[in-house]
Amino acid sequence: MPDKLQLKRIKGFQGRPGPLLLVILDGIGIGRRDESDGVFVARTPGLDTLMKSTLYTTLHAHGTAVGMPSDADMGNSEVGHNALGAGRVFDQGAKLVFQSIQEGRIFRTPLWKKLVAAAQGKGRTFHFIGLLSDGNVHAHTDHLYAMLRQCALEGVKGVRIHALMDGRDVHEKSALEYIRRTEKVLVELKGQYGVDYRIASGGGRMVTTMDRYNADWDIVKRGWEAHVLGKGRMFGSASEAVETYYREDPRITDQYLNSFVVAESGRPIGTIEDGDSVVFFNFRGDRAIELATAFDQKEGFDRFDRRRVPDVLFAGMMEYDGDLHIPKNYLVEPPKIERTLSHYLCAEGIRMFAVSETQKYGHVTYFWNGNNSGYVDKKLETYVEIPSDRIQFDKAPRMKAFEITQRSIELLHSGSYKFGRLNFANGDMVGHTGVPQAIITAVETVDECMAKLIGVVQELKGIAVVLADHGNADEMFTVKNGQRLVSTAHSLNPVPFAIVDSGYRGEYKMADLPQKGLSNVAATLLNLLGFEKPEDYDPSLIQFA
């Protein structure tokens, strides 16, 4: 980070007397405006008013606009908040890993060579843990298959896969499709190389392994017990486990499947033992940090009783936390994001706050600040985490929106902060459940809270900026071959962006840019505070008269 960051003032515009508040409506996109669109179906007088404003536009929030490999790739809150906070587009995990594998660089790293060498020892096994999905948000099966093939090519005889079921970034009940696709690859490798590669354990991502922001370490404990200890409900195969869970509860979806262990004659086939190699092949950090910590932290770990900690070579696909350096070993370098908006504002001595509930707290802090934990300047910043309920989100679709609103209002009324940002998680987290009435309630709750906040900012003679980081609630289902399919994934739809300026007198207008995306927001926020953007930031969404 440069020793001194400095912003230039805009001549003739110093911002407004009151605060600038950024309201992020997570998962609220602009959909087809029909019955499939939960944002359209919901009663949203606040959002409807914003969409009629002259200071309104829509933004790209997926694909290359947020650093993903192609425009067929959905956006997500991680890359979205990176772009929002950094003011530029950085190649993200999916793209970085794809390029590293495609060019073979990952397999030439000293770490990969050590992982392979360790797994080549007598009685040793190479383990892969991760999301068995091609949703390309947390992981991609193509990455896993490439590593499996490389292991076989390099003479690794034993591999075990600990497969987490998605049902969130892909179709809600597609686990069997991914298991069968994976087993086909394993059979091919056995026939070609004579190797013993099998799926050894798994479970749904929302109950096994993939917790985030320390919300519920029991999720990680269940994963540890299944993957490492081989402890849990046993089945003859991963397919049998999923089929059984489906049969026992026809309403269950993949993300909520209980953990399982694959066993033969009552013995698990793939426990993780001393001397083994382990790769967590998720590239996204938020739901990978906790398990990585459980492997890396040998002493002083108190989150749950691990029972035993195998002496393994553990690696993440990427470094999941660049500040805390988790994990210690990783295969692909993450994007180096420096000089975020927070760094510039702290350098100018501007006090700011960030508020969200646990499910999105790391997004308005860690991801916003360029994948770095902690404060940029604790003297100038206040971060507020409101604990999320430990309940399926369709059961409590209002989540913590009202609490976030109240705490933000208190901070605004304190008069201590010039800039604030907050995230309402409802549209995304409830959107992932695919339950229409819950989604509609979530959207209406967020709209009510957003309108209340805008009113407070106007009273304080400030500016409110409202946007979303990606879509989700705007696509509750899709129709294929005349059949309605529940959609729990993020959408590829654009997202709203609106400015509500209490003192607006036509000093600026929406800029006519060839493409507008989330990375244009940081420069816009700086302009609204009375600053010019840094030279290498993407253009502002506004231009002055």
Catalytic residue IDs:
77
Helix (H, G, I), strand (E, B) or coil at 126: strand
Do residues 345 and 315 make contact, with C-beta atoms less than 8 angstroms apart?
Answer: no
Q: Nearest-CA neighbor of 308 among 269, 265, 276?
A: 276
The total of other beta-carbon atoms located within 10 Å of residue 4's CB is 6
As a whole number of angstroms, the distance between CA 185 and CA 161 comes to 12
Q: Is the dihedral angle over the CA atoms 425, 284, 22, 491 positive or is it negative?
A: negative
Q: Phi first, then psi: what are they for 147, rounded to 5°? A: -70, -35
Strands 542-544 and 508-510: antiparallel
Strands 313-318 and 330-332: parallel
Helix (H, G, I), strand (E, B) or coil at 480: strand
Q: Residue 508 corresponds to which tokens in the numbers above?
A: 């600026």
As a whole number of angstroms, the distance between CA 287 and CA 213 comes to 8
Do residues 496 and 52 make contact, with C-beta atoms less than 8 angstroms apart?
Answer: no
DSSP string, 192-216: HH--EEEEEEEEETTTSS---TTS-
Do residues 219 and 207 make contact, with C-beta atoms less than 8 angstroms apart?
Answer: yes
